Amino acid sequence: MNKLWLSAPALFLAACTGGDLVPVELQVAGAKEVIVYRIDPDRLYPWDTLQLADGVLDIELPLDSSGSTFYAFAFDNNGSLRLGIERGDDIEGEVSVANNITTYSLTGSPLSERLLAHYQPLRHSAMLMDSLDAEAQTYQGLPDVAEKNALLFTRYQARVEKHRKDLEAMITEDPASLANIFAIYQSVGNYPLFNPDQDAELIRTTADAMSEAHPNHPILQIFIQSAVR
């Protein structure tokens, strides 16, 4: 499950002011190149393509005028991740990929660390889905394949429910974080975790908290238009 940042709509904002830069240094195992995308309100904008010396990404990312800017990274080892940067950040971290699932850690940015926390349940769900797929392959041709697949689906449903509950707990813990936008758009396979109608109260309450903390942020405005009922 690579390119996990594509699980949310492409979102972002106005042009960068050029006055604020955030240093980012990532150790990326097995990668030689990365494409950096700025997340605009209506698309992923290719910001730069960089060669990595000895698997090290060392760059400075510009902030836009909102003070909270989001970027997505796509590495040539099939790794991917999203960062949210703010003034005063100084990001360091490590990235690895196994079976097309990205594992990463980082420090130095509260917003990016929140995005990472929201990513962990998604990573666990992706790993379980791969495991269930592999297990299902071993059942092919067995007389009780339908029963065994039904048990696999039950495990999938349980994981989806836990994934959702974990995200909802983190969202309600810090409803003002802009990282919540991407969390609310998460899905497991083709199954969205949150529904704008069924989860209208959670989404509206979260949008209100984000609006109070980040009035007129372009990402938030797009979110409100598309998701808030």
Where are the CATH 2.60.40.180 domain residues in the chain?
Answer: 4-108
Which CATH architecture best describes the domain 4-108? Sandwich (2.60)
CA angle 89, 55, 105 (to 5 degrees): 45
pLDDT tens digits, residue range 185-222?
999 988 899 999 999 999 999 999 999 999 989 999 99
Task: Find all residues with CB under 8 Å of 191, minimum gap 6, and list them.
Answer: 160
CB atoms closer than 10 angstroms to residue 112: 26
Question: What mean pLDDT is predicted for residues 27-34?
Answer: 92
pLDDT tens digits, residue range 135-172?
999 999 999 999 999 999 999 999 999 999 999 999 99
| 64 closest CA partner among 223, 227, 219 | 219
Q: Which pLDDT score, from 0 to 100, does residue 17 have?
A: 43
pLDDT tens digits, residue range 75-109?
999 999 999 999 999 999 999 998 889 999 999 99
> How far is it, in rounded angstroms, from Cα 80 to Cα 100?
9
3-state secondary structure 74-90: EECCCCEEEEEEECCCC
Retrieve residue 22's tokens.
């955030």
